[in-house]
Amino acid sequence: MDLQNKCVVIGVTGGIAAYKMADTAHLLCKLGAEVHVIMTENAAKFISPLTFETLTNRRCMVDTFARDFQYDVAHISLAKAADLILVAPATANVIAKLAHGIADDMLTTVVLAARCPKLAAPSMNTAMLENPVTQDNLAALSRYGFEIVKPASGLLACGDVGKGKLPAPEELVGHVLRRLAREKTLSGVRVTVTAGPTQEALDPVRFLTNHSSGKMGYAIAREAMLRGAEVTLITGPTALNPPPFVQVVPVVSAKDMFSAVKKALPKTDILIKSAAVADYRPANQAADKLKKDGGDLTLPLERTDDILGWVAQYRHPGLFVCGFSMETRDLLENSRRKLEKKRLDMIAANSLRTEGAGFGVDTNVITILTANGQQELPLMSKAEAAARLLDAIEARRS
């Protein structure tokens, strides 16, 4: 429940994309937010206030002068209660009003009265969006502190293809989560996370790899982003959607990952290496597909670079390095040995033999080791484990 105890006001204005806001409101409610929806009169022609009332279990406000709200002086009470206002879809007309302080209905009045963060998601025909008047108004809103959600491109309701679509509900919710879900304890901190497996090519058809799904690393990247960090996610091939608002650097082999880490390192304050990097790769990579020829095949393998080993040698002062250790036996002894050998500040140890830990699953059981400490965490979701790991890193850094 990432939005528990958060009050989100959604302002829906009169564009066809208003229909997407039903899903958005519902998703925000499911995340625990107290959601209030205000519609303009034109919005209420596209989608019924009853839809929002049913989904949010609250009165949907349209008329400034209606007397049946749960609040006295509703526009001021609601403006004060709001932790965030999301105006979506924001039509050119309402953007123009907001940019000039016009408050002639419930929605524009609440927005004008609110001091909380405000997001506006423009949604309209491409020509209207690109009109310099609209662009000027959007620039004015940015100056006044609004965050403008970039419109998506594609087939518009009018039949044109171009910029101006309201992004999908999940994307809008992502913007709200980034602003509200966590305290910004990592604001301005640059976090680099490696995740997933590497693939070591044998020929154009085959490769050596491992079972890493990338879930743990992606969860860490998301949690760090929510805490305000500037996140770089260096990821081997996975089936996951990367979290929003992180810089994704896709890599394939251990060699690629090594180059990406070397490049990111000077701009990194915290390095978390959750990737399962191959320790060996085929010594020869065939240019053409290897053909079978009756007998058995023996493959010579060579060592890959130990990325953390390199980091240990070249790390800059102030860099915090957290490694991961996956073992099938002697978990703590082996992990502590890696902590020392690779000069890590911390290592998260997990055993493939523990139920609920390891590859592919959504849970993990990790033990956080430092030079003089050991914290055993119980079975929890990878999202929760990511949060506990970052708590430990933040505590250690301070």
**Can residue 275 be called a binding residue for ligand CTP (CB under 6 A)?**
yes
Q: Per CB under 6 A, which of residues 185..224 are in contact with ligand CTP? A: 194
Among positions 163, 262, 263, 338, the unique one binding ligand CTP when judged by CB under 6 A: 338
Please write down the HEC assignment for all residues of the chain.
CCCCCCEEEEEECCCHHHHHHHHHHHHHHHCCCEEEEEECCCHHHHCCHHHHHHHHCCCCECCCCCCCCCCCCHHHHHHHHCCEEEEEEECHHHHHHHHCCCCCCHHHHHHHHCCCCEEEEECCCHHHHHCHHHHHHHHHHHHCCCEECCCEEEECCCCCEEEEECCCHHHHHHHHHHHHCCCCCCCCCEEEEEECECCEECCCCCEECCCCCCHHHHHHHHHHHHCCCEEEEEECCCCCCCCCCCEEEECCCHHHHHHHHHHHHHHCCEEEECCECCCEEECCCCCCCCCCCCCCCCCCEEECCCHHHHHHHHCCCCCEEEEEEEECCCHHHHHHHHHHHCCCCEEEEEECCCCCCCCCCCEECCEEEECCEEEECCCEEHHHHHHHHHHHHHHHHC
Q: Which of 93, 109, 325, 350 binds ligand CTP (CB under 6 A)?
A: 325
Site for ligand CTP in 48-107 (CB under 6 A): none
| Residue 391 interacts with ligand CTP (CB under 6 A): yes or no | no
Distance from the Cα of residue 126 to its chain's centroid: 28
* 256 contributes a contact to ligand CTP by CB under 6 A: no
**120 scored as a contact of ligand CTP (CB under 6 A):** no
Q: Distance between CA atoms of 392 and 236, rounded to whole angstroms?
A: 26
Verify whether residue 158 is a known catalytic residue.
Answer: yes
Segment interacting with ligand CTP (CB under 6 A) among 57-65, 93-101, 138-146, 302-310: 302-310
What is the total count of residues that contact ligand CTP (CB under 6 A)? 15
| 143 to 182: interface string for ligand CTP, x by CB under 6 A | ----------------------------------------
**Closest residue to bound ligand CTP by CB:** 307
CB of 128 to ligand CTP, least distance (A): 49
Does 277 engage in binding with ligand CTP (CB under 6 A)? yes
Stretch that binds ligand CTP, among 20-28, 94-102, 136-144, 301-309 (CB under 6 A): 301-309
Burial 86-103 (b: 16+ CB within 10 A, else e): bbbbbbbbbbbbbbeeeb
Using the rule CB under 6 A, is 389 a contact of ligand CTP? no
CB of 255 to ligand CTP, least distance (A): 10
Q: Minimum Å distance from CB 304 to ligand CTP?
A: 5
Q: In terms of CB distance, is 178 or 388 closer to ligand CTP?
A: 388
262 binds ligand CTP (CB under 6 A): no
Q: How far is the CB of 236 from ligand CTP (least distance, A)?
A: 10
Considering only 60, 87, 307, 389, the residue that binds ligand CTP (CB under 6 A) is 307
State yes or no: residue 323 binds ligand CTP (CB under 6 A). Answer: yes
Interacting span for ligand CTP (CB under 6 A) from 63-71, 180-188, 212-220, 275-283: 275-283
Task: Give the footprint of ligand CTP on this chain (CB under 6 A).
Answer: 194, 254, 273, 275, 277, 279, 304, 306-308, 323-326, 338
Indicate which residues carry an active-site annotation.
Answer: 158
